[in-house]
Chain A
Amino acid sequence: MRIVIGQGSCGIAAGAEKVRKALLNTNINKDDISITGCIGMCYLEPIVDIYDDNNEVTRLVQVSENDAETIAQYAQSGDKSLLDKLIVSDEDSEFLTKQTRIALRNCGIINPEKIDEYVGAGGYEAIKKALTKMTPEEVIDVVKTSGIGGRGGAGFPTWFKWNAARSSEGEEKYLICNADEGDPGAFMDRAVIESDPHNLIEGMLIGAYAIGAKHAVVYVRAEYPLAIKRLKKAIEQAKEKGLIGNNIFGTDFSCDFMIKAGAGAFVCGEETALIESLEGHRGMPRLKPPFPAQSGFWRKPSNINNVETFANIAWIINNGGEAFAAMGTEGSKGTKVFAVTGKVKRSGLVEIPMGKTLRDVIFDIGGGMKTDKDFKAVQMGGPSGGCIPANLIDTVIDYKALGATGAIMGSGGMVVMDESTCMVGMAKFFLDFTAKESCGKCIHCRIGTKRMLEMLDRITKGEGKEGDIELLEELCYSIKDGALCGLGQTAPNPVLTTIKYFRDEYEAHIKDKKCPAGECSDLIEYRIDADKCKGCTLCARNCPVNAISGEVKKPHIIDTDKCIKCGKCYTVCKFGAVVKE
């Protein structure tokens, strides 16, 4: 019997480490207790998998340290009924069974801190195959056949970048992994590094071999300490096994690895800003051309790919480009990982083949809304992406199809919203993020996003005026056209798509000074419906500013001058007597 605790950041945050310690304090054999990375069902953390001797797994969810003894008793008695309350439901199990996992194939299964478990799962076979049986050109060919595009968001063909870097003149070349995942609500890359770091290393080694680089660099944000720790450990282990270093597998191919922790600037996810930061400069994008493939890190030919892209490479080499290309659509091959969050019932990591629909992800796998409100929209691709409204829920997951809506595939952030989300507020939230994360270099991004934010702020406060929407649109198109890098060029997307699909909501804020979703506190008022109020005093007791008065068992009244619109009364009232309007 093995007891495996999901210890990705998400699991640890939910208390997995406490559970592990509690289990270690039971009479279970300590050698039987181990960890794995992110299992993917964030909403059910902490998760404990119990493998029996036939390797059949019993999955326990939302486990607390208090359950340790129960588990120990089960370990002793084998009485499964003890676990009834903890075992994952069939419905929740579908969250994983409906997925097709390639990049995440080992996540939540193997121990990320043990290279042997990766090797046991077929790891490092692909790099061995590439080094001993394939030329770099053949590797690039297989990648070309697979049709994989950059998983960082733009979907640019990976083989093309590799080929360009390979063709660039120069002895010194660099292969760089962009692990500066910064979109609010996105955590695909973190999960891969924390859960399967060797898969990333192997993908990078193959890439380095393909382009002729002897140096591999992982640029990872410092906010991912666990990822950095596990990746460091993995690099050490790979070095010990001779998988990193000189003459790997006895071939002429040598490659060293370096980790660089980024200081937390979103813009460093832009490849040229990433290079500036790597060199020790302020993270600001460089002009392109020249492209990194010609002049990148230390002005040497460099190739930069996203974590998820590399996470697919070993599988592609092992299984062939055709197998990968067999999944997906005409223009978008393979699978894509999404971090599904927001008002959805089941949140977590979802990897599915391209060509599925948003409905498949949000309703079939994600289980629909967690509240009784209707699905309103989904924000794809974080602050660089756009929203897709409910009536386009059957849009196919494909670079072109998603692009046609005004949103983007992006790196995989999927924030699900229901009817209680104000779309102007949503656009403001993401714009606030990009405005703060602008590096300050180009005018359009530095000042343009700030001015847009000020306009949105006015609109949500009821100070919007006629012509604001048109001015916002003008500014949006101008920023898209004039900004220096991807951050600025895509920053208007949340605003443009919300205007496109929810223009009436903007107009309601501006003309009627109303927030239809009831989220903009300056535009709403709370009052108590005297017919429904039972005079239970619960609201009055919970009001932080004593704005509610009334005698026991008589209808209460909210003093709107005192009210700070915190919504506490609305939440606590058991009779639906507090009205928000």
Chain B
Amino acid sequence: MINLTINGKAITAPEGSTILEAARANGIDIPTLCYDKAVEVYGACGLCVVEAEGIPKLLRSCSAKVSEGMVVNTESERVVRSRKIAMELLMSAHDGDCVAPCQLNCPARTDCQGYVGLIANGEYDAAIKLIKNKISLPASIGRVCPHPCEKACRRQNVEEPINIAQLKAFAADMDLKADSYMPDVQESTGKKVAIIGGGPAGLTAAYYLTIMGHSVTVYDMMEKMGGMLRYGIPQYRLPKEVLDKEISLIEKTGVKFVNNSKLGKDFTIESLKAENDAVIVAVGAWKSSSMRTPGEELDGVYGGIDFLRGVIQGNAPEIGEKVAICGGGNTAMDACRTAVRLGAKEVYVVYRRTRAEMPADKLEIDEAEEEGVIYKFLTNPLSFNGEDGKVKSITLQVMELGEPDASGRRRPVPVEGKTEEIAVDSVILAIGQKLVQGDVSELELNERGNIVADADFFTTSIDGVFAIGDATNRGASIAIEAIGEADRCAKAVDAYLNGQELDTRVPYISKRDEDTIDYSDREKKDRVNPKVLPADVRNKNFDEVSLGFTEDEAKAEADRCLECGCREYYKCKFLNVAQRYDINPERFKGEMPQKYSHDENAFIERNTSKCILCGLCVRSCREVMKLSSIGLMGRGFTTDVSPAFSLPLDETNCNNCGLCVQLCPTGSLTEKFNLPKQVPLNEQYSEEFVEIDGKKSSVVVSRYNGKILRVIPNDEVSRNSGLSREQLRALVD
């Protein structure tokens, strides 16, 4: 035995063993991407380098042997620097998306590609489980979300984005119909958390903290839970029955609800804090913003959310026949379409820019118009004019578009001296909403008048008190933003309650350069939208406008997904090593070595643009299987792995043993799933044994949600059996 020291730890190792073997045998992890016991050492990746005292060069630990008295450092500054640059260089030439852009653009990081793919495959229960990892109110959010995911969806480069939000609503509706999914709740921690506010933020935090085993109580000032989802979104867009069902599922996990209980009146933050281990403030923004226009104080001028709440609560304010809504966002749309449904004859939307700049969802803008709403674009209220204290007309300043402002939209500027007057019975101001400051006077506020909350930890000026959602930092935003914060806040509170440190590092993700993607080979398929009630029917009632997807529609729509995210994301060794070092491959951004291309047969898919040239596939095919079906081609930067003579894999002597796939440390070689639509899933792997020709043989089985996704031969017998994947799967089943 040889005595040596690794990272200050005295160890012994058999003579002739490598530093890597010695380190691993002693629980010291040295990263490698080209090493595998099955094949001869290669030394390509250079990640296994270590420093040994007295040796000027870095040693590749996969090949350097231990020697008596050797003093090795596997994480010295020089070693880390070398590995970091190696990873940055590798990543700079790795043309792949770890995660689909839809998921990255969702503020809650919902795995959109995952559930869309599962829906395409008819795996609805798996889809809802995946969704509920991030969203506890998917049927509601699916209906109301302005879907940033769809804005990032690459399908729009072919024709139109995938209808991701509606697919989510579809999967959630399927789940609500029968035997709804209930998450496993962890054993009680004995910790108590109070949450102030039962809107999307508060409910989400409650749901995830409860699943983690904490005892959570939500306090809300209103009669029922749901916050703005209930009191700010009209019935025709989100039926309260749907919301009720979803909230009741949250309640079923064990969350305690206390309604009609108001901060500052029934309790204070301090009082809750005294009774709980942590408090989360998620009170939202319940005050309509002012336009600071003369005449706002007149009777008949209402705040947008106040108006909507009144209607929902059954005490709609008097609006008369002529109504003007000021604003261009989704609240303005909700207000004007509600006004139409209340029977107003002339409903105007006054907006200072044009239709193209309206922040509201395009579908909403179109549907409102179909219902009879009149748009007054390029106008801005100069004054609300009244008689006897009651609003009678609006003087509008006519605007035109000037130079683009900071948001990139063209700035509206008044046309000197040009005004217009319209007669109205009421005005609804839907230009934004604000926190009611008096409620949270115990906390430090910022210059915008919102609660100061840490961006990563959600901590406030009081220890143990956290804040999320519309009431914090930059103010009101969309529900999914608050839900994302709530999910992350739940983790932060959990870490706080357990006295653990929260890892706030943003994991490194490889992203393709959008400009380099070619869609010319994609077949055009129209986006499927759910059917809606006819405009002349729906404008007279509050029935839900959308009829939702049928199963066939949902599957057809989900099938349009381009499958941007990598199927090997969850088991990518390359990505895993990337997380160990704080890498910045951007600084080496340059040409990509290979054109993004696929080559596939029934089981194996090759994508050399993701290849990191570790050589494991080529070497295992040659050394273990003695086949050499694939080899290295070209030189330098454009070196590539290619089937023999550049033939399609099926025309070589490849026997589909899958060894190359098994050893590929990234997503360059993958085995397809036993699913019609390929989708990245966090599979569970297990080694299992089957009998082939009377011989016991090992296979690796991957399952997801109980279903076998792939069966990969794992020894000489199964690799040389000649059995197809279907036959192997039948043996496992």
Contact = CB atoms under 8 A, between A and B. Distances in A.
B587 interface: yes
B636 interface: yes
Contacts of A284: 632
Nearest to B33: A443
Contacts of B612: 443
A475 B590 CA distance: 14
A121 B89 CA distance: 56
Contacts of A265: 635
Interface stretch (A205-213, A346-354, A476-484): A476-484
Contacts of B85: 444, 448, 474-475, 478, 482
Contacts of B44: 441-443, 484
Contacts of A448: 85, 89
A454 B588 CA distance: 9
A440 B613 contact: yes
Interface string B608-623: 0000110100000000
Given A289-B64, A439-B635, A482-B82, 5 more contacts: A289-B63, A443-B613, A447-B90, A448-B89, A481-B82
B63 A442 contact: no
A438 interface: yes
B42 A287 contact: yes
Given A482-B46, A482-B85, A440 B587 contact: no
Contacts of A435: 636-637
Contacts of B613: 440-441, 443, 446
Contacts of B631: 282
Contact of B636 (A443, A446, A482, A484): A446
Interface in A433-462: 435-444, 446-451, 454
Interface of A: 265, 282, 284, 286-287, 289, 435-444, 446-451, 454, 471, 474-475, 478, 481-484
- What 4 A-B pairs have minimum CB-CB distances, sorted nearest first? A440-B639, A287-B43, A447-B89, A450-B637
Contacts of B636: 435-440, 446, 449-450
B397 interface: no
Given A437-B635, A446-B637, A484-B46, A478 B65 contact: no
A287 B41 contact: yes
B533 to A, nearest CB: 58
Given A440-B637, A443-B86, A451 B590 contact: yes
Nearest to A290: B63
A442 B635 contact: no
B632 A282 contact: yes
A440 B613 CA distance: 8
A440 B632 contact: yes
A444 B81 CA distance: 13
Interface in B630-654: 631-632, 634-639
A459 to B, nearest CB: 13
Nearest to B63: A287
Interface string B75-104: 000100110011001101100000000000
Contacts of A481: 57-58, 78, 82
Given A447-B637, A478-B81, A442 B43 contact: yes
Contact of A443 (B81, B89, B591, B638): B89
Interface of B: 41-46, 49, 57-58, 60, 62-65, 78, 81-82, 85-86, 89-90, 92-93, 587-588, 590-591, 593, 612-613, 615, 631-632, 634-639
A282 B82 CA distance: 27
Nearest to A448: B89
Contact of B635 (A287, A438, A454): A438
Contact of B58 (A446, A450, A475, A482): A482
Residue picked from A284, A439, A481, most chain B C-beta under 10 Å: A481
A463 to B, nearest CB: 12
A265 B632 CA distance: 15
A443 B84 CA distance: 12
Nearest to A288: B63
B117 to A, nearest CB: 32
19 contacts: A282-B632, A287-B43, A287-B63, A437-B636, A438-B636, A439-B636, A440-B613, A441-B43, A442-B43, A444-B89, A446-B613, A446-B636, A446-B637, A447-B92, A449-B637, A475-B85, A482-B46, A482-B86, A483-B46
B63 A443 contact: no
Nearest to B587: A471
A481 B78 CA distance: 9
Contacts of A447: 89-90, 92-93, 588, 593, 637
Contacts of B45: 442-443
A62 B615 CA distance: 53
Contacts of B82: 478, 481-482
Contacts of A444: 46, 85-86, 89
Contacts of B93: 447, 450
Contacts of B635: 265, 436-440
A482 B49 contact: yes
Contacts of A471: 587
A446 B591 contact: no
Nearest to B632: A282
A465 to B, nearest CB: 11
Nearest to A447: B89
A180 to B, nearest CB: 15
Contact of B46 (A282, A438, A442): A442
A474 B58 CA distance: 16
A448 B615 CA distance: 18
Contacts of A443: 44-46, 86, 89-90, 612-613
A48 B593 CA distance: 51
Contacts of B64: 289
B45 to A, nearest CB: 6
Contacts of A287: 41-43, 60, 62-63
Contact of B89 (A282, A286, A451, A484): A451
Nearest to A478: B85
Contacts of A478: 81-82, 85-86
A286 B44 CA distance: 9
B17 to A, nearest CB: 14
A454 B593 CA distance: 13
A442 to B, nearest CB: 5
A157 to B, nearest CB: 18
Contacts of B78: 481
Nearest to A479: B85
B90 A450 contact: no
A435 B636 CA distance: 6
Nearest to B82: A482
Contacts of B81: 478
A438 B636 CA distance: 4
A243 B617 CA distance: 47
B619 to A, nearest CB: 11
A286 B82 CA distance: 20
A416 to B, nearest CB: 28
Contacts of B588: 447, 451, 475
Nearest to A284: B632
B95 to A, nearest CB: 12
Contacts of A436: 635-636
Given A282-B632, A447-B89, A454-B591, A438 B41 contact: no
Contacts of A439: 635-636, 639
Contacts of A484: 43-44, 46, 60
B351 to A, nearest CB: 43
Contacts of A442: 43-46
A478 B78 CA distance: 9
Q: Which of A289, A439, A441, A484 has the most CB of B within 10 A?
A: A441
Nearest to B47: A443
Nearest to B634: A440
Nearest to A450: B637
Contacts of A454: 590-591
A10 B355 CA distance: 76
Nearest to B86: A443
Nearest to A484: B43
B43 to A, nearest CB: 4
